[in-house]
Amino acid sequence: MTGIRPLEGLVVADFSRVLAGPLCTMTLADLGATVIKVERPETGDDTRSWGPPFSATGATYFESVNRNKQSIALDLQDPADAAIARDLALRADILVENFLTGGMEKLGLGYPQLSEQNPGLIYASVSGFGSAAGAQLPGYDFIVQALGGLMSITGAPEGEPMKAGVALVDVLTAKDATIAILAAVRHREQTGSGAHIEVNLLSSLQGALVNQGQAYLGAQSVAQRMGNEHPSIVPYQLLDAADGPVAVACGNDRQFARLCAELGAPELALDTKFATNAQRVAHRRELVDHLEGLLQSDTAANWQQRLTAVGVPAGKVANIAEGLAFADSLGLEPVIDVLDAHGGIVGRQVRHPATWSPPLDSPRLAPPKLGEHNQAVRSWLAAQPEDVRRG
């Protein structure tokens, strides 16, 4: 079966750095777009130096969001290099940037300046707090998690507020940006017109609060930290087994009854204090004490197997290596080899999450060295007719 590249033929000018913008453009590259990453000479993207850890080819942080791209090093303060950057932007289908508001305009690369000559340009601006009153605030994921409310609901009730274990808001923003860009591609197909898209970390975080955000808006209930407990479902949390915690998620009364039966205490499901989810929430601590007492009879791994076998969602707490191995055991093929320009394997990365039929023919090229494609990109731009404009 022939593989497909759904975005093949689209050119992306990537003026972004760190995480949200580069993850967005890597997603577009995985889907077949040609992504040309513009970087500062000598230093490049900030994350090229964010380590350890380092792989044999560079900082693993940079590598995680920059495969399948070409790199051109340009000093945007230099008139000659700025002219090349503008030429690239005028020939691009999509431009992604995360400069401070007004920064691209100062360089002659703002959307109003470019769209006059490239009316089909889809221009995505990524910021921390938007382009209005928060325009000059630095957009660091950690700060947004604090200010946006996520940290206030993460962590143990008696402990300090906690951030997520990865820069989750950057990741969410990257996905929001990608969704909006793909919608704009469809809009351009219908109308011939491009668009200016703005995404910001704060809005992406608050859009991802889902039930916790709506609890406040709909019922004036401000969520608090509950550790691994769920505010509206019990049991839906970590429970202590003989050798450590096991995650148990009973989303309905039937699953709870199966849990009780497998634990050897079917009468718990009939107890009026635990018979419905609302009652279990009201008597959370008493029920958890019962369940953890019963779980002491076996290990977390064995409970995972036993409960899963009877239709109760359960799993031991795995580390990242174990999680990838589990995904591989399910046939999900979570890891791909990445290749250098000569087709040699130079590393491994987590693949694009979607599985396609017909299969996705993703390029699988390793993240570029700084300025690796300077000559190739310059030659490509020079070969383009002066009147070629996308849109």
Predicted pLDDT at 389 = 44
**pLDDT > 50? residue 391:** no
243 & 339 share domain: no
For the chain, the helix, strand and coil percentages under 3-state DSSP, each to the nearest 5: 40, 15, 45
Q: Look at the alpha carbons of 384, 385, 386, 389 in this order and tell me if their dihedral is positive or negative.
A: negative
Residue 189 DSSP label: H
pTM of the model: 0.93
Residues acting as catalytic residues? 170
Give the tokens for residue 164: 């997520």
Domain containing 285: what range? 236-316
Residue 369 lies in a domain: yes
CATH no. for residue 46?
3.40.50.10540
Residue 231 lies in a domain: no
Residue 326 lies in a domain: no
Report the domain count for the chain.
2
Which residues, in sequence order, are bridge partners of residue 248? 237, 314
18 & 156 share domain: yes
Give the tokens for residue 54: 């380092």
289 & 363 share domain: no
For the stretch 110-155, pLDDT in tens is 999 999 999 999 999 999 999 999 998 988 999 999 999 999 999 9
Bond before 367 cis per omega within 30 degrees = no
Contact 35, 26 (CB under 8 A): yes
**pLDDT > 60? residue 390:** no
Cα dihedral: 208, 213, 218, 224 (round 10): 150
306 & 352 share domain: no
Contact 259, 250 (CB under 8 A): yes
**What's the pLDDT band for 310 if we cut at 50, 70, 90?**
very high
57 & 195 share domain: yes
Residue 227 lies in a domain: no
Residue 166 lies in a domain: yes
CATH no. for residue 270?
3.30.1540.10
Predicted pLDDT at 136 = 87
Which residues, in sequence order, are bridge partners of residue 316? 246
Contact 73, 374 (CB under 8 A): yes
16 & 142 share domain: yes
**pLDDT > 90? residue 44:** yes
Alpha-carbon span 136 to 153, nearest angstrom:
27
193 & 261 share domain: no
Predicted pLDDT at 386 = 58
Give the tokens for residue 104: 């691209």
User: Of 191, 178, 61, nearest to 120 (Cα)?
Assistant: 191
**What's the pLDDT band for 384 if we cut at 50, 70, 90?**
confident
45 & 96 share domain: yes
360 & 284 share domain: no
Predicted pLDDT at 385 = 67
For the stretch 231-289, pLDDT in tens is 999 999 999 999 999 999 999 999 999 999 999 999 999 999 999 999 999 999 999 99
Residue 102 DSSP label: T
For the stretch 339-381, pLDDT in tens is 999 999 999 999 999 999 999 999 999 999 999 999 999 999 9
Alpha-carbon span 24 to 71, nearest angstrom:
16
Taking every pair of C-alpha atoms in the chain, what is the biggest distance, in angstroms? Answer: 79
73 & 203 share domain: yes
Give the tokens for residue 188: 């351009």
Give the tokens for residue 85: 């950057």
Alpha-carbon span 115 to 104, nearest angstrom:
13
Give the tokens for residue 193: 């017109």
**pLDDT > 90? residue 388:** no
User: Of 173, 192, 183, 194, nearest to 89 (Cα)?
Assistant: 194
What is the β-pairing status of strands 69-73 and 34-39? parallel
62 & 181 share domain: yes
Q: What 3-state DSSP class applies to 339?
A: strand
Report the pLDDT averaged over residues 59-65: 97
For the stretch 166-225, pLDDT in tens is 999 999 999 999 999 999 999 999 999 999 999 999 999 999 999 999 999 999 999 999
How much is the mean pLDDT over the chain? 95
309 & 173 share domain: no
